[in-house]
Chain A
Amino acid sequence: MTQIQVEKKVLNENQRLAEELRAKFREHNVLTLNIISSPGSGKTSILERTLESFDKSKRVVVLTGDIQTENDAKRLARFGFPVKQIVTGGTCHLDAKMIEKHLADWPLKNIDLLFIENVGNLVCPSSYDLGEHAKIVMLSVTEGEDKPLKYPSIFAKSELMILNKVDLLPYVPFDAELAKQNARAVHPGMEIVEVSCTKGDGLTQWMEWLDRKAAATFRAQETTA
Chain B
Amino acid sequence: MHELSIATSILETVEAEAAKRPGSRFVKLGLRIGELAGIDPDALTFGWEALTRDTEFANLALAIEGTPWKNRCPVCASEFVVKDYQSQCPACGEANTRCIGGEELDIAYIEVDEP
Residues of A within 8 A of B (CB): 1-14, 91-93, 95, 123-124, 126-127, 148-149, 151-154, 156, 182, 185-189
- CB-defined A-B contacts under 8 Å, sample of 5: A6-B13, A7-B108, A8-B107, A10-B6, A182-B85
Task: Tell me which residues across on chain B come within 8 A of A126, comparing CB atoms.
Answer: 38
Contact A4 B97 (CB under 8 A): no
Partner of B85, one of A8, A92, A123, A152: A152
The CA of A139 and the CA of B88, in the complex, are separated in Å by 23
* B73-103 interface code vs A (CB 8 A; 1 in, 0 out): 0000000000001111000000111010001
In the complex the two chains form, is A127's CB within 8 Å of B9's CB?
A: no
CA–CA, A58 and B13, complex, Å: 43
Closest 4 CB pairs of A and B: A124-B2, A153-B36, A188-B95, A185-B85
Distance from A34 Cβ to chain B, minimum over Cβ atoms (Å): 15
A154→B69 CA distance, assembly (Å):
14
Q: Contact between B109 and A1 (Cβ–Cβ < 8 Å)?
A: no
List residues of chain A with CB within 8 A of the CB of B107. Answer: 6-10
Q: Which residues of A contact B103 (CB under 8 A)?
A: 153
Enumerate chain A residues within 8 angstroms of B110, measured Cβ to Cβ.
Answer: 3-4, 6
B111:A156 contact, CB within 8 angstroms: no
**Are B2 and A10 within 8 A (Cβ)?**
no
Max count, chain B CB within 10 A of own CB: residue among A4, A5, A92, A182: A4
CB pair B87 A186 closer than 8 Å: yes
Alpha-carbon separation in the docked complex, A80 to B62 (Å): 50
- Taking the closest CB of chain B, its distance from the CB of A3, in whole angstroms, is 5
By the criterion CB–CB under 8 Å, are B37 and A127 in contact? yes
- List the A side residues contacting B99 at CB < 8 Å: 156
The CA-CA distance from A9 to B107 in the complex, in Å, is 6
Whether a CB of chain A sits under 8 angstroms from the CB of B58 is no
Shortest Cβ distance from residue B76 to the other chain A in the assembled complex, whole angstroms: 15
Is A10 a contact partner of B1 (Cβ separation < 8 A)?
no
Min CB gap A126→B, angstroms: 5
Q: Does any Cβ of A come within 8 Å of B50's Cβ?
A: no
- The yes or no answer to B39 lying at the interface (CB within 8 A) is yes
- 16 other contacts beyond A127-B37, A127-B38, with CB at 8 A cut-off? A3-B111, A4-B109, A6-B108, A7-B106, A8-B106, A11-B105, A12-B13, A93-B2, A123-B1, A148-B85, A151-B38, A152-B69, A156-B36, A156-B99, A186-B85, A188-B96
Contacts of A124 in B (CB 8 A): 1-2, 5, 38
Whether a CB of chain A sits under 8 angstroms from the CB of B113 is yes
> How many angstroms between the C-alpha atoms of A41 and B87 in the bound complex?
27
Give Cα distance in the complex from A3 to B31, angstroms. Answer: 13
List, in ascending order, chain B residues with CB within 8 A of A156's CB: 36, 99
